Chains A and B, each alone.
Chain A
Amino acid sequence: MRTFLATTLIVIAGLLILWISTDGGRAYTVEEARRLEVRENPRPIPNWRLQNQDSEMIALHDFRNQFIVIDFFYTSCPSVCLILGSSLKELQKDFSSELEKNNLKLISISFDPEKDTPQKLREYLSHFSANLKYWMAARPTSSSQKEAILDFFKVIVIPDEYGGYTHSAGYHVIDRTGRLVAIFGIEQLNELKEYLTQSLNKEHVQQD
């Protein structure tokens, strides 16, 4: 009887803990968890000031009233950042009219500010034939700021065995009011496009 009671208690408590710690069976990995979290609780981004490829200072709040797609990268990255970059290039093409109307901005933020000088950032953008009016690259101005940014986006960067980094790769969408509203994985480019198309249209209707 005691055994039965104790076992039932443990099983119920255990299932409850597992349920809660997977957000109700929806997120098993940190990556899934951060995507789910911003979808359910969009959070306003702080007004960080970053240095862009032309050594100018930009502030994230400069782009209020626009959607922003942010990706994180480092310029010497041999693999996943190249996919991110060419995907942003694709966005630049597919959403050219929205970009022209200043409804959308693309920002690539480096998490390797020591090596990624503005010069390097510019080279990186030119690789992808970026139009600097619509797509900019930027680096944090201090390591504490870098940590704060990575922490806010819950991007985890770890050194790999080739002297580079492995990192959470994805597209982070900021809405017009400056809130982080969605994160898409690198494999979800189509979902990202759909999401942008929908949100941009929806906002137009509201404005009209």
Chain B
Amino acid sequence: MFNKIKREWLLLAAFVALALPPLRQFLEQSMVTHMLVQIPILAIIGWMIGKSLPANWKNKIASWNQWGITGMALAIVIMTYWMLPRALDAAISEWYFELIKFITIFIMGMSLSLSWPLLHPIAQGVFKLEFWATFMRLGWLYLDLPDRLCANYLLSDQRILGQLLLLGGSAWAIAWVFRIMFGTKIINT
């Protein structure tokens, strides 16, 4: 019990630390750390808090979230929104967009953690492939676009991010192939 509470406090502390200016400004200086470090960590914090919610809360939410559909819809809306270059710029320029970002990404992580296990395995597979394809598409897009998408970031940043996304996507694909070809587990990468 004590351990559990302690872990939640740690997560909250991490959340606050990310929100405080030194770390926040440091991570938002570059598109790469903004999109591949800050936002994923926020989502993971949300995911872990979601995991450790009391069981009766989870049950209440689950009755609104059969097969995880509602939560996935919410997560996808949030994800799509923050994929708009405009939205990312706004988060840097306006404090209230930044606040919305911190809250919604956290909620996204939480709703993913509450919904993913409820999702049909086939649907999980489709989502995984779609996420993977999004990695590859965005990576390619960032490498090929002649102009900057975000007014607050440099073109070179965008290029590096593109390369990292393609690299990450490829690594993911290779890992997946190994798991299914030779592993003994049912698809759950």
Contact = CB atoms under 8 A, between A and B. Distances in A.
B27 to A, nearest CB: 16
Interface in B137-189: 146-156
Most buried by B among A2, A13, A22, A29: A29
Given A158-B152, A160-B154, A166-B155, A6 B65 contact: yes
Contacts of B93: 156
B73 A14 contact: yes
A129 interface: no
Interface stretch (B9-17, B41-49, B84-92): B84-92
B85 A30 contact: yes
B96 interface: no
Given A2-B63, A28-B85, A33-B86, A11 B73 contact: yes
Contacts of B151: 29-31, 156, 158, 168
The prevalent SS among residues of A at the interface is: helix
B153 A14 contact: no
Interface residues of A, number: 27
A15 B69 CA distance: 16
B86 A29 contact: yes
Contact of B150 (A13, A21, A30, A187): A30
A30 B89 contact: yes
A14 B80 contact: yes
A40 interface: no
Contacts of A2: 63-64, 66
Given A6-B64, A17-B77, A28 B152 contact: no
Given A156-B152, A166-B154, A18 B85 contact: no
Contacts, number: 79
Contact of B81 (A6, A21, A33): A21
A186 to B, nearest CB: 9
Contacts of A57: none
A27 B86 CA distance: 8
Interface string A1-17: 01100110011011001
B154 A3 contact: no
Nearest to A186: B147
B70 interface: yes
B86 A18 contact: no
Given A7-B69, A29-B151, 19 more contacts: A3-B70, A10-B70, A10-B73, A14-B76, A18-B81, A28-B84, A29-B89, A29-B149, A30-B89, A30-B90, A30-B151, A32-B86, A33-B86, A156-B89, A156-B151, A156-B152, A158-B153, A168-B151, A187-B146
